Structure 1
Amino acid sequence: MRVMVIMKATEDSERGTPPTAEAWAAMDRFTEDLVAAGILVAGAGLKPSAHGRRILCDGGRRTVTDGPFAEARELIAGFSIWEVKDIEEAVTWAKRCPDPAPGPCEIEIRPFFEGADLAALLTPEDLATPREGDRGRLGVA
């Protein structure tokens, strides 16, 4: 099962405060452990929301809002994608993660939709003959 591990933003991450050398080294060691275990698929840190945009979709209308966005605790500072046997394995690994920021911070784990989750939406033809570009649509990596 694939999961996205979401590091929630903090006031420090939204200010662009870099991690300490010790925190960076600890995260590097943790990442190396994930790679060695065959868990890590991808991951990246994100710039503060001041560098971002939001697009509100309402019917055919699109409204763009420039960052920064309020409520740092509701924002994402970074993510990784893990391949694990189940959500409990993801939780076990996440509990080993060094603190992503000084002070209280939050890690969220969300499973991806997989092909089996979407089977009710697909026709037998969809399942039998995948087309170019279907990997993302079917939730398959």
Structure 2
Amino acid sequence: MRYMVMHYQTQENEDGVVPSAEEQKAIGEYIRDMSLSGVFLTGEGVHSSRKGARLDVADGAVRVIDGPFAEAKELIAGFAILDVSSLEEAVEHARKYALLVGTHRVDVRQVVEFADLALPDQA
């Protein structure tokens, strides 16, 4: 099963503070180990919201709001797609990663697979 693990910004991330060389090394080693074991399929971090935009959609109208945004803790800082056998295994990897990156929140969500979709037979 594939799970998406999303970690959230800290105010330090949003302010452009990068992890120390030691922290970056530990994070890199953990991701390398997950990659070599076949658990880590892909993942990326994202820049602070000052380099982004938000689209609000209401009543058929789209309003574009340029960053930065006020609540850093509500913003995604990055994601990973893991291939694991259970939610519990995904949560354990997310726990270890959260402690490495120092985030206050991580969401773990199962990825919708094609087989999960209720599609009519394609005859």
TM over 0.5: yes
| 1:1-141 paired onto structure 2 within 5 Å | 1-97=1-97, 98-101=99-102, 105-119=104-118, 122-125=119-122
Structure 1 gaps of 5+ residues are: 129-141
Shift of 1:59: 4.3
1:114 and 1:33 map into 2 onto residues whose CA distance is 25
Moved over 4 A (4+): none
TM-score normalised to structure 1 length = 0.79
Report the aligned-residue RMSD: 1.5
Paired residues, number? 122
Compare 13-22 and 51-60 and name the one that shifted more. Answer: 51-60
1:58 and 1:96 map into 2 onto residues whose CA distance is 39
SS in 2 for 1:99: helix
Structure 2 gaps of 5+ residues are: none
Shift of 1:72: 1.2
Render the CA deviation track for 1:28-80: whole Å, top value 9, x for unaligned: 11001111110111111110011111111234321100011121111111111
Identity of aligned residues (%): 39
Structure of higher CA gyration radius? 1
Shift of 1:2: 1.1
Q: Is the 8 A contact 1:99 1:105 kept in 2?
A: no
Structure ranking higher on relative contact order (CA contacts 8 Å, 6+ apart):
2
